[in-house]
Amino acid sequence: MTYLVLARRWRPQTFADIVGQEHVTRTLQNAIRTGHVAHAFLFTGVRGVGKTTAARVLAKALNCDRGPAPEPCNACVHCEQIAQGNSLDVVEIDGASNTGVDDVRAIIENVRYRPAQCRFKIYIVDEVHMLSTSAFNALLKTLEEPPAHVKFIFATTDPHKVPATVQSRCQRFDFRRLPLSLIVRHLGEIAAKEGLEISEKGLFFLARESEGSMRDAQSLLDQTIAFAGRRITDDQIFAALGLADRALVVELASALIARDPSRVLALVENVYTCGDDLRRFVRDCIEHFRNIAVVQAGASDLLKEELPVEELLAVQKQAEAVSFLDVERIFRTLLQAEAEIGRSPVPKLCLEMHLLRLAMAEPLVSLATLAEELRQLADGKPSPRTTLEDQGKLPPRGDKNRQSRDSSAPEAIPERHLQAQGTAVANATAPAPAGVPRGEGRESLEFAEGGDSRWRAFLEFVGQRRRFIAAHLQAKVGVEWGQDWLKITIPRGIHYQYLTHGGRAQELAALASEFFASPFSVHIEAVSEENSSEKSQRQEPMKDLLRQVLEVPAVRKTVEILGAEIREVRERQGVQEKGPS
């Protein structure tokens, strides 16, 4: 006896059996009840969602001996003939193999004759979008005004290829992609009727592979039965369909989040050795990181019907351990890897390099986080990112990278507004630290070369406490010492503005008092144009350009946030380049 596949054996025979398309079946049933059945229908939707099945059920309902009825009886001769495809008056035409105008002319010639046995002569044209333009044009007149005994039912997966003139003459019904939970439930009912032993998780894997198509899900179940028999395990499903275990996908995501290159390579080797499709594995990883982004967006409820409980818990846990910026970067890189694997002669190596690039990259930090770090540093508080790293909530950065970042990140945000041009003096005095003997700090250092050596020693001391203050002091023009005072002459500009705002002059005085172990005052004076020996006439245009650049809000804001210094402004083709060089 010829074996009948599950998709045909369990094909719906009534409107009630068609699952997931209630918006279509209800409309058709009401139209039959009220006698408002159109002469032409267009059923659209992805493969395997019930378009042709609904067309056959509609044909039976219209031609049933007890009808037209909202449900066919499936017992009369007409229902049986239509179900078996033997009816003379219900003609199914494959639009992919009957595309020419001559095929349509044969239909036009036959519609004039009344049905041989049934109430209506019904033409079901599958994949109607494959008809040629000439065939569509030849059908237009008949489709607009067919005889009363003729009904047309068109089915297509590409409705945009059907001319608008044809669509306007039909009632269009869009069949939806079936939800995952609905396919799982329906497969479970079929498995129970077939006497199969299969887990709920296994049914879920089959449903996910079907991508919303009930027919595909039934075909995959058929394939699995042929491989494993009546008792089907999850591993047998993976082996039969050539799928990678989703646990490997979750594990690879954990390795990428933890930035563990060796673990990433081991997982890829495992997938490759098992003979799994690398491109399909990457697609599963892409979907996994999309799910992580969905959780981070606060839409976890959308995944409850798409994922098993244990996989959903893993996704939620990983969403807490990685930033959205890194998720988005991984997602885009995996998309690029999936495209390149398909055309690469060495797909495994291609995948490994993409994954290593992700596993060995530094975590991305948003501009808002950087701004908050600057504010925390300005207030003398630890960086929020450093705190998270210390708590183990963020992967630690390498010592070399940390040192590079620490030496380049600004410690404080300068004032928003620059002072007007003119000589200014900032004075600050601080008492000696309590419990420090007078002269202890001075005796601990050697001043072999007098003032310069003393300044270098003091600058080194400041650099250990406040390195950015020390960095701005490097631009000093002159230093004068007294018994309990220090006068610093510094060029007017970003250095002067930085040192004389935000209480930094007071901080410098406190550092001097600690260094010399006695009360010390610090005076910071800007160099006037008359007293600066380092200025020349050729630098006057530069100063004018610099002043203009600093008046630009965007440039001023950048200088403030980064604590930067504009060293040079160039003018090119009448346009000022307003940026640091």
Same domain for 107 and 30? Answer: yes
8 Å CB contact between 451 and 479: yes
Local confidence band at 433 (pLDDT 50, 70, 90 cut-offs): very low
The packing angle between helices 180-194 and 200-210, to 10°, is: 120
Mean pLDDT within 322-330: 89
Same domain for 54 and 136? Answer: yes
User: Has residue 225 been placed in a domain?
Assistant: yes
CA 212 – CA 176 distance, rounded (Å): 9
Share of the chain above pLDDT 90, in %: 26
Same domain for 32 and 96? Answer: yes
Local confidence band at 535 (pLDDT 50, 70, 90 cut-offs): very low
Mean pLDDT within 318-333: 90
Q: Is 333 helix (H, G, I), strand (E, B) or coil?
A: helix
Same domain for 52 and 155? Answer: yes
Same domain for 133 and 14? Answer: yes
Domain closes at, from 359, 385, 416: 359
Same domain for 389 and 287? Answer: no
Mean pLDDT within 207-214: 87
Burial class (CB in 10 A: 0-12, 13-18, 19+), 438: exposed
Lowest mean pLDDT among 294-308, 479-493, 511-525, 564-578: 564-578
- The amino acid at residue 212 is G
User: Has residue 267 been placed in a domain?
Assistant: yes
Tell me the CATH number at 79: 3.40.50.300
Local confidence band at 546 (pLDDT 50, 70, 90 cut-offs): confident
User: Given this model, what pLDDT does residue 265 score?
Assistant: 93
Angstrom distances, CA of residue 394 to CA of 249, 250, 256, 279, 363: 22, 19, 13, 30, 9
pLDDT for 538 beyond 60? no
Tell me the CATH number at 186: 1.10.8.60
pLDDT for 581 beyond 60? no
User: Has residue 568 been placed in a domain?
Assistant: yes
User: Given this model, what pLDDT does residue 65 score?
Assistant: 87
φ, ψ (nearest 5 deg) of residue 273:
-65, -35
Domain closes at, from 154, 174, 194: 174
- The rounded mean pLDDT for the chain is 79
Local confidence band at 111 (pLDDT 50, 70, 90 cut-offs): confident
8 Å CB contact between 485 and 522: yes
Same domain for 342 and 266? Answer: yes
User: Given this model, what pLDDT does residue 466 score?
Assistant: 81
Same domain for 315 and 205? Answer: no
Same domain for 144 and 10? Answer: yes
Mean pLDDT within 172-195: 90
Same domain for 48 and 156? Answer: yes
φ, ψ (nearest 5 deg) of residue 315:
-65, -45
User: Has residue 417 been placed in a domain?
Assistant: no
Same domain for 15 and 133? Answer: yes
User: Given this model, what pLDDT does residue 32 score?
Assistant: 92
Domain count, the chain: 6
| The overall pTM is greater than 0.85 | no
User: Has residue 420 been placed in a domain?
Assistant: no
pLDDT tens for each residue of 388-431:
444 444 444 444 333 333 333 333 333 333 333 333 345 555 55
pLDDT tens for each residue of 4-28:
888 888 899 999 999 989 999 999 9
Hunting for tokens 């620490």 — which residue is that? Answer: 406
Mean pLDDT within 245-252: 87
CB atoms within 10 A of CB 140: 13
8 Å CB contact between 370 and 405: no
The residues, ordered by sequence, that sit 6+ positions from 23 with a Cβ below 8 Å of its Cβ are: 173, 176
Three-state secondary structure readout of 95-140: CCCCCCHHHHHHHHHHCCCCCCCCCCEEEEEECHHHCCHHHHHHHH
User: Has residue 1 been placed in a domain?
Assistant: no
Report which listed range, 336-350, 449-463, 542-556, is most confident: 336-350
Domain closes at, from 149, 174, 199: 174
Tell me the CATH number at 256: 1.20.272.10
Better-scored residue on pLDDT, 418 or 380:
380
User: Has residue 109 been placed in a domain?
Assistant: yes
Buried b (16+ CB within 10 A) or exposed e, 404-430: eeeeeebebbbeeebeeeeeeebebbb
User: Given this model, what pLDDT does residue 475 score?
Assistant: 66
pLDDT for 501 beyond 80? no
User: Given this model, what pLDDT does residue 470 score?
Assistant: 80
Same domain for 387 and 504? Answer: no
Share of the chain above pLDDT 70, in %: 77
pLDDT for 575 beyond 70? no
Question: In which domain, by residue range, is 548 found?
Answer: 537-577
